[in-house]
């Protein structure tokens, strides 16, 4: 039998040409790196970088950034303003060309911008393409010009909307929910970036407002990098005055500052054209070379004791070093659009020359500082030699037979790393249960006694002297990183010693367990980063609850699963009536799910300053309230609706940064005053809450509710009271045990819930943002108590369960 096949034609018509900004929307990750929170933040950075470029060109000294309640962002500067005259080739206003054409900007020659961070010219046009809307207001030539775009396309012409006394550009955009996985900006991440920019650009003021939390902070550091290093070393015991230097060679500007402290951690931050180069590059290479050479040159020539006369390596001279290096150059070569490493080969020599001369001058003028630095470096060299010997000892022991393994390690029978698992548990109690419950063919157990050292604050030689850490290193196989740079071949050879491809941290679900887990994660991040990057480190997820009644027993992973379990019990023998409508079984479960979703939105709105009672009153208004705040004059509809409930509502206008901000002011029956920016009524939170409330009122037009259970009927008020009452009923007749420790489980339970590959749940430890990870470990585990206190104060109100 023959079968006719018509092959799909492949000709010129098969080639798709994405015009304008459609390519950006089709493949956003190519332009901003990802569509997660990093990509979301990248939109803000691109717009702010354009204003920074104006500052570096000498035309801007103030930038305002505001996150609004609907998660839109406004960036405003007092620069020259984007040109608004007609582009000679495009025949459109230049600002429209900049907003809608990739690779269009003033940064491809050095006429408009001598130095620029926005190298590729795709920044603001990409932001436009990936936004639901973008509005640009340009103050230039005494006029205020305005244009609006939606998903990259202009929807209005560029029009003059008023007079302008000064110049500048204001851009407001709302990230497109269709593109991004999350639409919630992280305040701390953005604040840190803006603070860095203020350090790197002397006398530039960055005003950051977050209307979601009513936080406002202004960054301005006239001291530049000197102040940057001073603040980085806040709380540390410094051993000398800051060494700083600036210079310009062949159009490349170099600025650096450094200072040593009595600690052991190296903290060197590098920037190129204000872009944080997390992977370093040629400017970092030049700085390291110059610093090592300057210190060794001083040792050779200076009149210092013979005990200090030894050759120091780069690792020796960087222990306890805090430094910031910033270069600004006309034609930077970055690795990709995300700009993480500087590649200009000529920069290394120029940076080395300026740093070497500045450090030499400081040493000659301040011999006491030079001696303190040399003593610190020589001390580091001796400690490093001791660590090297300890490392070799550990390595030799690890290379011996299994008899060299720690005595408390219950090893597995398999010798194949790819199928072997190591469970690190706290204490002998949990270790005993784990050893009895495991599958000895491929699962090994290593109990740790107490809490291991915090390696963030411990020198390498002291770390290797700790018995628990030595046991851990020997059990794992590879030797830890010690700060010395090894070739890729040696790293691969070291990693090949790994005895288990699953290293599982299995600690209790209490405060002590969390602390031990954090100490272990610090150890792996600082000393075994490659294990994390290769996906070998995991966190076990033992159940938090045991639910039982008679012969029935079920283990519950977390609070969310417990809620789902209780919701499943609700429909067993309960019915709820709302007027003529009755809910039971699956329909009742669906109703409760909707109510719980609404409760979550109400909690979110509460963090923005809207109490539950007021929000529910607003949700009962039949249409979205955003249209009622389209102008300054409030329509009668919403005012009448709220008046019937006892509220009054008015609007307030605030003139700020060339913008008019509109606020809604609600006064409750007890005269409590609530003021909230009207953007909230365009936010995702409000829209979803309003939609869900409308669904619920359609399903349940009359209240109160009648709950019937086993022929007993009682009434409850609104939706939230119904949900709480049913959840309380679901708890009746069952026992719930909350596990505090793994030792509370018998071996069979531990195997079934946590160690059985067919049923267990693990979290794989990954590093999504190296810079953020480094910052959080330094903040929470480092020497600076002030950083931890600030972290606790910022997050104290977010704690849901406090174990004291």
Could you tell me the strand order of the sheet in which 545-549 lies?
Answer: 552-556, 545-549, 735-738
Alpha-carbon distance of 667 to 782, in angstroms, equals 47
Measured CA to CA in angstroms, residue 266 lies from 314, 533, 550 at distances of 11, 21, 59
Long-range contacts of residues 366-370, Cβ cutoff 8 Å, at least 24 apart? 366/240, 366/241, 367/302, 368/240, 369/240, 369/241, 369/243, 370/298, 370/302
Rounded to the nearest 5 degrees, what angle is found at the Cα of 706, between the Cα atoms of 703 and 712? 165
176 is in an annotated binding site: no
Q: Is 558 a catalytic residue?
A: no
**Cβ within 8 Å of residue 174, ≥6 positions away:** 70, 71, 72, 73, 131, 132, 133, 134
Alpha-carbon distance of 453 to 557, in angstroms, equals 30
Contact between residue 197 and residue 53 where contact means Cβ atoms under 8 Å apart = no
Question: Helix, strand, or coil here: 568?
Answer: helix
For tokens 């040629």, what's the residue? Answer: 282
Q: Record the tokens describing residue 238, joined without a space.
A: 């410094």
Beta strands 673-677 and 552-556 are unpaired
36 is in an annotated binding site: no
Q: Is 426 a catalytic residue?
A: yes
How many Cα atoms within 13 Å fall on the side-chain side of residue 364? 9
Pick the catalytic residue from 512, 613, 691, 695.
512
Pick the catalytic residue from 54, 426, 604, 783.
426
Pick the catalytic residue from 222, 248, 510, 786.
510
Contact between residue 98 and residue 124 where contact means Cβ atoms under 8 Å apart = yes
Pick the catalytic residue from 316, 508, 658, 783.
508
E-strand stretches of 12-130: 62-67, 73-77
The DSSP result for 721-759, as a single string, is: HHHHHHHHHHHTT-EEEE---GGGS-HHHHIIIII-TTT
Q: Is 512 a catalytic residue?
A: yes
Classify the C-alpha dihedral 157-158-159-161 as positive or negative: positive
Measured CA to CA in angstroms, residue 57 lies from 62, 140, 620 at distances of 13, 17, 53
419 phi-psi bin (left φ>0, alpha ψ -120 to 50, beta other)? alpha
Beta strands 62-67 and 205-210 are parallel
Q: Is 508 a catalytic residue?
A: yes
Which residues pair with residue 538 across a beta bridge?
Answer: 504, 764
Question: Helix, strand, or coil here: 151?
Answer: coil
- Chain centroid offset of residue 324 CA: 22
426 is in an annotated binding site: yes
**Where is the binding site, in residues?**
426, 508, 510
**Where is the binding site for Mg(2+), in residues?**
426, 508, 510
- Show which residues are catalytic: 426, 508, 510, 512
């Amino acid at each position: 039998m023959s079968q006719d096949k018509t092959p799909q034609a492949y000709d010129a018509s098969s080639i798709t040409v994405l015009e304008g900004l459609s390519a950006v929307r089709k493949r956003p990750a190519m332009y901003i790196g990802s569509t997660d929170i990093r990509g979301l933040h990248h939109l803000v950075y691109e717009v702010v970088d354009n204003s920074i470029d104006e500052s570096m060109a000498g035309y801007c000294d103030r930038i305002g950034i505001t996150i609004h309640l609907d998660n839109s962002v406004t960036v405003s500067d007092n620069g020259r303003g984007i040109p608004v005259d007609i582009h000679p080739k495009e025949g459109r206003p230049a600002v429209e060309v900049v907003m809608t054409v990739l690779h269009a900007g003033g940064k491809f020659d050095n006429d408009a911008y001598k130095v620029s961070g926005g190298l590729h010219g795709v920044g603001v046009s990409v932001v436009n393409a990936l936004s639901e809307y973008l509005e640009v207001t340009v103050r230039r030539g005494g006029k205020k010009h305005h244009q609006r775009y939606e998903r990259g396309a202009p929807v209005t012409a560029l029009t003059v909307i008023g007079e302008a006394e000064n110049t500048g550009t204001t851009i407001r955009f709302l990230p497109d929910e269709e593109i991004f996985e999350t639409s919630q900006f992280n305040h701390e991440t953005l604040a840190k970036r803006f603070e860095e920019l203020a350090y790197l650009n002397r006398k530039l003021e960055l005003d950051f407002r977050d209307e979601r939390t009513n936080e406002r902070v202004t960054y301005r550091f006239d001291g530049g990098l000197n102040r940057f290093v001073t603040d980085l070393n806040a709380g540390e015991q410094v051993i000398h005055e800051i060494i700083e230097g600036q210079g310009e060679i062949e159009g490349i500007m170099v600025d650096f500052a450094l200072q040593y402290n009595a600690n052991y951690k190296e903290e060197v931050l590098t920037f190129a054209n204000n872009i944080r180069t997390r992977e370093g590059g040629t400017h970092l290479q030049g700085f390291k070379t110059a610093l090592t050479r300057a210190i060794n040159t001083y040792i050779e020539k200076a009149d210092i004791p013979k005990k200090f006369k030894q050759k120091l390596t780069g690792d020796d001279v960087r222990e306890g070093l805090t430094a910031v290096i910033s270069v600004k150059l006309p034609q930077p070569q970055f690795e990709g659009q995300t700009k993480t490493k500087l590649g200009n080969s000529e920069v290394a020599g120029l940076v080395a020359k300026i740093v070497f001369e500045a450090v030499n001058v400081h040493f000659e003028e301040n011999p006491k500082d030079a001696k303190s630095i040399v003593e610190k470096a020589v001390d580091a060299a001796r400690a490093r030699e001791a660590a090297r010997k300890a490392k070799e000892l550990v390595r030799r022991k690890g290379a011996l037979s299994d008899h060299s393994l720690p005595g408390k390690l219950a090893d597995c029978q398999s010798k194949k790393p790819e199928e072997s698992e190591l469970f690190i548990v706290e204490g002998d109690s949990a270790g005993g249960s784990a050893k009895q419950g495991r599958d000895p063919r491929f699962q090994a157990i290593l109990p740790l006694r107490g809490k291991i050292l915090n390696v963030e604050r411990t020198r390498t030689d002291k770390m290797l002297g700790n018995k628990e850490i030595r046991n851990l290193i020997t059990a794992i196989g590879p030797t830890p990183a010690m700060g010395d740079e090894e070739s890729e071949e040696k790293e691969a050879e070291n990693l090949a010693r790994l005895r288990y491809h699953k290293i599982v941290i299995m600690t209790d679900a209490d405060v002590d367990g969390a602390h031990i887990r954090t100490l272990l994660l610090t150890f792996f991040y600082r000393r075994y980063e490659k294990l994390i990057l290769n996906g070998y480190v995991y966190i076990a997820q033992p159940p938090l609850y045991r639910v039982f009644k008679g012969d029935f027993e079920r283990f519950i992973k977390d609070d969310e699963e417990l809620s789902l379990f209780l919701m499943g019990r609700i429909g067993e023998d309960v019915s709820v009536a709302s007027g003529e409508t009755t809910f039971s079984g699956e329909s009742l479960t669906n109703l409760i799910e909707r109510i719980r979703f609404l409760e979550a939105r109400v909690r979110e709105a509460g963090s923005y300053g809207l109490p539950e009672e007021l929000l529910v009153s607003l949700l009962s208004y039949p249409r979205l309230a955003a249209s009622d705040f389209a102008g300054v004059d409030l329509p009668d509809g919403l005012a009448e609706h709220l008046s019937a409930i006892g509220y009054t509502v008015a609007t307030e206008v605030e003139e700020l940064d060339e913008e008019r901000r509109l606020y809604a002011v609600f006064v409750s029956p007890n005269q409590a005053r609530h003021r909230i920016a009207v953007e909230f009524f365009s936010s995702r939170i409000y829209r979803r809450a309003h939609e869900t409330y409308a669904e619920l009122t359609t399903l349940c037009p009359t209240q109160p509710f009648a709950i019937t259970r086993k022929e007993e009927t009682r009434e409850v008020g609104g939706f939230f009271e119904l949900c709480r009452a049913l959840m309380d009923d679901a708890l009746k007749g069952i026992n719930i045990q909350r596990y505090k420790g793994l030792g509370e489980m018998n071996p069979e339970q531990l195997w079934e819930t946590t160690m059985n590959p067919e049923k267990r749940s693990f979290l794989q430890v990954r590093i999504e943002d190296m810079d953020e990870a480094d910052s959080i470990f330094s903040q929470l585990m480092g020497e600076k108590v002030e950083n931890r206190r600030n972290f606790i104060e910022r997050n104290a109100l977010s704690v849901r369960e406090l174990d004291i």
